[in-house]
Amino acid sequence: MIKGIDVSRWQGIIDWPSVASDGVKFAIIKATEGLTHVDPNLDKNAVGAYNAGLKIGFYHFLRPDNSEPEREAQHFVNKIKDYPYEWLVCDIEDKKGKDNKWVIEYTKRWLLEVERLTRVKPIVYTYVSFAKNVLGKSLVDYPLWIAHYVSGSPGTTAWTDWVCWQYTSAGRVKGISGNVDLNWMKEDFFMGSGKAKTRFKDVPAGHWAEKAIKYVDEIGLMKGYPDDTFGVGKFITREELAVILYRLKGGDKA
């Protein structure tokens, strides 16, 4: 497991080199909330964490009491697009008086818009009871960052697994005067990052066929189009199938 923190303005001014010296390898930083709010320490935290050698991600606190999830997504992306990052996160933990169906649909629309704008599949952050009682199975195609402060690993949800576990809100690390959320991230997810891993612009990170597409491209079995797309969702023609079969038999792969 990889040790990390998540921070916002509530941690005040952070001494990032000291944080890094305490074994922290990543930081997920609050960027925005709702339609207009920007965390006042966003720039300090993003620049400081990156310069200290940490991998960084950004999160947006979702407000389902608004009626424009796409605008919330655009607000988030506009504020983080000029920083380096590995992960983008939707923090959904408050229904804000809305029913489950509204919250689920609102969250889905935000996630889709962020993925469309960035080609990065966002992570869903929530806590165990919210995942069970509100989200259910609706968002299990997205990686899960789960908050669970009881001893032992996170409880069961509709997700079969999680990529990051926030295990306390009362952690202490060098460089931060006060409590901070502490997290464990699974090593394979940390090493792989959330960014798209194929060269095709129509294959977002986390696509169900991502590994297969990357493989057939690397071995020359299937190639993309001149516009740098793979052709996701397109029907294959008989002549294209013939080329694939020819290559399978050892024909020209150029």
Catalytic residue among 15, 93, 105, 240: 93
Alpha carbon distances (Å) from 29 to 36, 75, 208, 220: 17, 15, 28, 40
Catalytic residue among 6, 33, 91, 202: 6
CA dist 195 and 152 (Å) reads 30
Q: Which residues pair with 89 in a beta bridge?
A: 59, 123
Angle at CA 180, nearest 5°, toward 178 and 206? 165
Read off the tokens for 80: 């983080």
Angle at CA 169, nearest 5°, toward 168 and 175? 105
Read off the tokens for 50: 């990156």
93 belongs to the catalytic site: yes
Q: Tell me the catalytic residues.
A: 6, 93
